[in-house]
Every structure is written in structure tokens, then in C-alpha cells.
Chain A
Amino acid sequence: NAGVTQTPKFRVLKTGQSMTLLCAQDMNHEYMYWYRQDPGMGLRLIHYSVGEGTTAKGEVPDGYNVSRLKKQNFLLGLESAAPSQTSVYFCASSPLGGAGGIDTQYFGPGTRLTVL
């Protein structure tokens, strides 16, 4: 049981390049999330999904796209990377989606992205 895995672990991009971050979970969770973490700031939600085939915008969605074609995978895409997208990206999954406030989110190890 690997939990939540993310690939790649590190990546350096040049401004304008594109890339896709992959998140996979083996816990059969319905809900999946993408956060970013910047120095001195907490985690901020980029996009989330409430089930296979669904996606929705979070707090900071601009410049990112997501897809959830399979229940276990949640992809985060950067179409044209900018230096402001330099950050650590965390994927998470949860079984209940916040229902009643008792949900627990399980996080991956993160992807450290640098955009030059």
C-alpha cells in the first residue's frame, strides 16, 4: 500500500515550457486535491476533484489545468510555466471530501518545481 505517490520529485523548467505532474493513490479515495506551498505561506488549494471525470477550481487555479480520467490518478498541467509558479506541489486524497468536518486528507511527498 503506497498511499499517495507523486512524480517527478524535482523538475526545472524554463519560462514558457509545459509539463504535467502525476499523482496516484491506491486507497480508492473519491476526492483528490492539488496544493502549492510557497515559503512563508501555508498550503493553497489549486484544483480538486470529487470523483472520476470531475474537476473544480480551488483558491489559486490560474495557469494550471487538471484531469481525472481514472479514479486513482490526478494530473496537474502547466501549459506555459512562469517563474511565479516556482513552488512545492502537493497532491492529496481523501475518502469523504470534508463531509461533516471529519475527513482526513492523505498527502504525497511533493514535487519541487523551479521555473527559470
Chain B
Amino acid sequence: DAKTTQPNSMESNEEEPVHLPCNHSTISGTDYIHWYRQLPSQGPEYVIHGLTSNVNNRMASLAIAEDRKSSTLILHRATLRDAAVYYCIRFNSNSGYALNFGKGTSLLVTP
């Protein structure tokens, strides 16, 4: 089962940090955690991925729990442009080629 669990929706104020949680309690040792986001009327966009250690890039940070059963995507200062559906995806070389997007978390950012 390659499923992850995310809240259906979250809300944040502009310029505040946002922590988007993801539960993946059945994760295997070779599963990477990938995050994509989909802005309204656009295709999905890669955000970040990691295996065990916390990861940072220009878009976001990814914090992975020590037992790897959960992770958190952190947007340090939300902007209106960050309003999107965020998908947490487990992915490894045995996953085949399809990314299992699930339903994701719809993030609303208010001014």
C-alpha cells in the first residue's frame, strides 16, 4: 500500500509559516518522500523530496520524523501564490513509473 494520509484542507495567513503534515506509517526503508503541488488550472509542480534527513531548497523545507512514519512540508513565508493542492507521495524504484498523487491538502492563503 503506497498511500499517504494528509488533511483535506488547511488555511494560513500571508507571510506566516505553514506546516503541511503527511502520515506514511507503512513506509519502507527504500521509499523516498516527494512533495508536489498543483496551482489552480496548472499541472503539478515538484517541490522537494527526501529519504531520512531534513531537506531544504529554495521553495520549501522537508522535515522527516526520525521513525520516518510522518513528514512535514514547511513553507517559511506563505504568499498568495502558494495557494495550491499539496501532494505527499511515497516513491521508490519499485513504485513503477506512476506517481500516486492521492487527494492532497488544499492550502488556502488569506491576505
Question: Which A residues lie at the B interface, using CB under 8 A?
Answer: 4, 31, 33, 35, 40-45, 48, 50, 58-59, 90, 92, 97-110
Contact = CB atoms under 8 A, between A and B. Distances in A.
30 contacts: A4-B43, A33-B98, A42-B87, A42-B101, A42-B102, A42-B103, A43-B99, A43-B101, A44-B98, A45-B98, A50-B97, A58-B97, A58-B98, A92-B43, A92-B44, A97-B97, A98-B93, A98-B95, A98-B97, A99-B93, A101-B91, A101-B92, A102-B49, A103-B91, A105-B46, A105-B99, A107-B43, A109-B42, A109-B43, A110-B42
Nearest to B102: A42
Contacts of A104: 34, 46, 49
A33 B97 contact: yes
Contacts, number: 65
B16 interface: no
Nearest to B96: A98
Contacts of A90: 43-44
